[in-house]
A and B are shown apart, each in its own frame.
Chain A
Amino acid sequence: MGALRGSLTFSRFYVTGDIPDDVPGTTLKRIRANAFQPLSPDDEKNEGAGWASIEDPFDTDLDHEKVFYNEYVCLGLRLDRWVIPGPLLKTHLRDAEQALLAKKGLERLGRQAKADLKTMVVRKLRRQLVPSLKSYDVVWNLRTNVLHLYSQSERIAALLDDLFKRTFKVDLVPESPGTAAERLGLDAKEVRAFAGLEPMTLARLEEEAR
């Protein structure tokens, strides 16, 4: 579940770099430029991502009220994918191949012909299907510059990284034990200790040897 209801599962990022003083006043145009665009059956790509309203992933006509909640930037990272069930594709491909062989009086198709046929079948099937839709809440606290992505998937984090940097022209540093430690503002002695750290164990040597 996400930022708006239910229990929360998320990963955290630190927003760094040249953060504008007035994010709401300067970024809405770029947010709108990176809003989600519907997939077309004729596209080569199998998926597409972009911004949507955090409250309604079908709403991609973003305005100030839908995005800026006091000190929070709230967005939905919408990801649509064409998902064609394997057996369906296989059956349609076999039928199309047989029809083409009969039409051309051939016994088998070459590699390129097969690839072209698959593209054609995929596009035809896409017209009969609806892409699968997922949306992940993204909340950036402008006071702390901590961002919550309501997903722990590395793939979604990579999509966010790309889309966020493209939109806001700033960097995202993922929270981890190491990055959280560095953010504490370690003194010179602590920095040296941090660089030389080795993992600890609570096993005693005689037990480790067993």
Chain B
Amino acid sequence: MSVNLTIGKAINAGLRRAMEADPKVLVMGEDVGKLGGVFRVTDQLYKDFGADRVIDTPLAESGIVGTAIGLALRGYRPVCEIQFDGFFFPATNQTFTQLAKMRRRSAGALNLPVVLRIPYGGGIGAVEHHSESPEAYFAHTAGLRVVTVANAVDAYWMIQQAIASPDPVVFFEPKRRYYDKADVDTEAALDSAHPMGAARVARPGTDVTLLAYGPMVKTALQAAEADSDHSIEVIDLRSISPVDYDTVTESVRRTGRLVITHEAPVSGGVGAEIAARVTESCFYHLEAPVIRVGAFDTPYPQSRLEEHYLPDLDRVLDGVDRAFAY
């Protein structure tokens, strides 16, 4: 059955389905209970699954991730909500030194099927620490899988895939796209969904590959639509770790050009990593250097300036033009 859902509601429906399928799945975080989370992504779950499965935690991010690790060691599958990107940092230690490393430390004896859900990115006019894109920190940490979604269909399936994964998964939710809608077939089988680690060609094209993920996919599609001079192929990366280089390089070999866009600052970002790899493996196919369109290497600015900071349609189109200037 097809249902028209927002990204937020699709994640909610995916969580519900995962909780119904497996009594070991828990939801935990600040305000996830009666309130349903500040973005209402866990709406009604508390009412239907009870306080033992939808846990309102003390206001302590390290505590959330650290106890989720313990719960996973006991056989549970906790899905932690970190309220906003900028509030993840108190949990960095538990995430980087413990969650990411424990499987390796135990030589495979321990799996930690923990999901960290993080609403991220800007564009909602928020106060400081509510608009950041910290995905590169996670992608740099071995032992974590890092994914993000750009539409309700992926939101519904990928949250379930993340929960089903035996590995820890950081699940970035593009908060300015929470209300974007799509038709979702909520009754299909989970294993029929596009694999979580794979990228997807969101719009085929022949002249240039435009790679985006999360909130920037919509902007990239708008750019492809707006640019009547070039046939732009848009790739929705979906998985930030691992990167599906097969899909990316196949596209670049065909188009000969690559533009990467993300909301995060460009230096040391995910785009830099992909640019390096693609240069190494597609050097003789490239007609131009790989172009990055991202944010400045500054703290996220006050919201009255965010329209200048976030890469928008014009900046993305400018990036595409630069790729044709060679």
Q: Do A and B bind each other?
A: no
